[in-house]
Structure 1
C-alpha cells in the first residue's frame, strides 16, 4: 500500500478523493500547490469550495447525479471548466473522474489539471481562425461585388449568368438578359459633380435590386450600365419586367435631378438542335440586348426594346450621342 500512497501523494496532477456527500477525504501535495490551501483546510469540506461561486450550485447538482450513476470521465475538455484558488482567482481545468469502492464506501477519485496555457493557445488559434474566415469573406465580397453599388460586378455576373443559362439549356427553359443604361449620365456628372453621379448610381442600383425578383442576377456592368439575368421569362414577360425596372428608376426621389434609363432585352429560347455552349449563348444574348438598348437610345431614351422587335435594317453600330 505504501507505493500506492506515494504514487497518490507525488502525482504531477492535483488528486482529490471525495465521499458520496462530496466531502474531501484525501488530497495530495499537488492539490495544495494548485489550490493554495493546506490540506487541513480542505479535508472534510465539500469540493464546491474549489469551484467559482457562480458555478457552485450547478456543480453540486451534477455531483449528486454523478454519485447516483457513477461512471468514469476521461481527460479531454468537453466543456469549459473552471476552478478557484484560495485567493479567489479562477483558472481553466480539465478533470478526470473515476468511481471506486473502498471498505464498502462509494468514493470518487478526482484528478484536476491546470490547462490555462493550453486553453489560451486554443482560444488564440480559434480567434485567428475566425479572423481569417472573416477576411476571406471580405475578400470574396470584394472580388465579386462592385464597391460603389454593392451589386455583383461583371466577373461575378458572367459566372452566375453562365450557370443560369446552363440550367435553362438543360431544362429547356427560357431566360432573358436585360441591359439598362442611365440616360445622359455624363450630363449629370458635368452639371452636378461626380459625387452626385455616384449617388445616382447607388440609388439606381438599389431601385433595380428592389424591383428585380429574388432569383434574378443583378450586376453593374460598368460606368452607368447595369445588367440583369432572369430565368424563366419569355419575351412578353421580360418586357413587363423591363418596364417595371424602367419605372423604378424613373420614380427615384431626393436626387439633384430626375433620372431615366433605357433598356435593351434579349431572350434565350431553347432549341434542341442548337449546339451552342452556355458561354457562347451568353455572349450572343448580351450582344443582342446591347443592340436593343442602342435602339432604345436612338428612338428617344427612357424606353425599352426587345431584340426581336428591332427593324430588320437596324444598324447595330451605336450613334455617337446615343448615351
Structure 2
C-alpha cells in the first residue's frame, strides 16, 4: 500500500512479505490499507507537532516581549483576579512605589493596599464590573490613596484596564499619570492581541485540514465524542456519514497529484456549501471525508447523504466526472460507543464501493429500503 500524505506526496510503501507467493483476500487488503492509513497519520502527527513547536515558540517570544514591556513601564501595574480577590502579578514599578518585594505583594487582597475605599473594588462587590469597564475595557477611577508597606499614604491616579485573557476577565490596575499611561496601555493591548492571535493560529492548526480548509480528523473525533454524549444524555438521534472519492488513485496517476489536490479542495468546498449550519464536515484521511449530523434520524441522514452525493456529481469537473461512495450510520439505544458509529458507517461505505460505487448505503438498511427512504 502506498504511504501518501494528504497533499498527495508518496513517502514510501507498506509491504507484506512472505517466503512463498500468496494472494491477499479482500479482508487482508483492507487491513493493509488501514495499517497504511495509521502509518501516514503518525507521520502527519509528527509534522503537526513540529508546526506546533513553531507556534509555541512564537507564543513564548510574545509573552517575553509582553513581560519585558510591562516591567519597563514607568507606571505601576498590578493584575487582579476579581473572582479570587487576589493580586496575581505586578511589575517592578508598582513594587518600587509601594516598597514590597514581589513575593510579599502577589497573593494579597487589593483592599490591603487601599487607604480609601474604591466602591467598584470593595470586598462586597469586587467581582462586579461596571458598564463603562465592560463596554470600553477601561475605567478611570481618578485620584486615590494607596498604603505602602511602611504604612505611608501614596497619592496616585488609578485606571483599570480589562484584560480578556480567554474570557477570564482579569483587571489590570495602572497607577500614575493618566496622560502618559494611555500610550502604554495601547501597547499592552497590542501585545495581548498578539498573544490571542498566536493562540488562535495554534488552535486553527490543530483543528483544520491544511489542504481543504475543512476540519481535520482530530477535530472530528473530538466533536463526535461531544455529540455522542449529548445525544445519549437527551435521547436525541445522531448520524455519521463517511464518503470516499471514487477511483482517486487512478485520477492521481492519470492527471497528477496537483490535479488531485484540486479535486479534494472542491469536494471539501462542496460539502461545506451543501451542509446545514449544524453539520460538522471534516477530512477523515486521504480522499475520505466525514460529516457529523447532530439531531438527525435515519431517514434525514439518508436524504442528506444523497444530497451530498448528487452535489459532488453535479460539479463541472475539468478532467473527468468525479463521484463519491457514501456510507451512513445512525445511533440507536444499542450503540455502545461513539467509535461504533464510525465503524458502521465505514462498513456501509464498503458496501457502496462493492455494489458499484457512486451510491449511498446505510448500515441498518437493505438496498431496497435505501431506495425507498431516499425516494
* Superposition pairs of residues 195-234 of structure 1, within 5 angstroms: 195-234=258-297
**Structure 1 counterpart of 2:348, from 292, 303, 313:** 292
- 1:133 aligns with one of 196, 201, 207: 196
The secondary structure found in structure 2 opposite 1:309 is: coil
1:1-323 → structure 2 map (5 Å cutoff): 74=143, 75-76=157-158, 115-116=179-180, 118-270=181-333, 276=336, 281-309=337-365
Name the SS for the 1:293 alignment partner: helix
Q: SS at 1:289's partner residue?
A: helix
Distance 1:235 1:113 in 2: 66
Q: Give the match's secondary structure for 2:293.
A: strand
Change beyond 3 A, Cα 1:128–1:306 = same
Q: Is the 8 A contact 1:204 1:252 kept in 2?
A: no
Structure 1: gaps spanning 5 or more residues: 1-71, 80-111, 312-323
5+ residue gaps, structure 2, are 1-140, 144-156, 162-175, 368-375
Q: Is the 8 A contact 1:174 1:270 kept in 2?
A: no
TM-score, length basis structure 2: 0.50
- Matches of 1:73 and 1:133 in 2, distance apart? 30
| Superimposed CA distance per residue, residues 191-241 of structure 1 (whole angstroms, 9 cap, x where no aligned partner) | 111111111001000111111111111110010000111122222221111
Q: Check 1:220–1:115 CA distance in 2 against 1; reply closer, same or farther (3 A cut).
A: same
- Structure exhibiting the larger radius of gyration computed from Cα positions: 1
Query: How far is the alpha carbon of 1:305 from its aligned partner?
Result: 0.4
Instruction: Kindly provide the CA deviation profile for residues 24-70 of structure 1, in whole angstroms up to 9, marking residues without a partner as x.
Output: xxxxxxxxxxxxxxxxxxxxxxxxxxxxxxxxxxxxxxxxxxxxxxx
CA 1:113/1:228 → structure 2, altered by over 3 Å: closer, same or farther? closer
1:78–1:292 Cα change, 3 Å:
closer
Q: Structure 1 residue 255: deviation in Å? A: 2.8
Aligned residues: 200
> How many angstroms apart in 2 are the aligned matches of 1:212 and 1:185?
23
TM-score when normalising by structure 1: 0.58
Measure, in 1, the Cα distance between the counterparts of 2:309 and 2:301: 12
Q: CA RMSD in A?
A: 2.3
Q: CA deviation at 1:283?
A: 1.0
Counterpart of 1:177 in 2: which secondary structure? Answer: strand
Q: CA deviation at 1:77?
A: 5.1
Q: 2:212, 2:264 within 8 Å by CA — same for their partners in 1?
A: yes
Q: 1:261·1:303 contact (CA, 8 Å) conserved in 2?
A: yes
Report the alpha carbon displacement of residue 310 of structure 1 after superposing the two structures with TM: 5.2
In 1, are the aligned partners of 2:159 and 2:178 still within 8 Å (CA)?
Answer: no
Secondary structure in 1 aligned to 2:267? helix
C-alpha offsets along residues 65-111 of structure 1, whole Å, 9 cap, x if unaligned?
xxxxxxx95334589xxxxxxxxxxxxxxxxxxxxxxxxxxxxxxxx
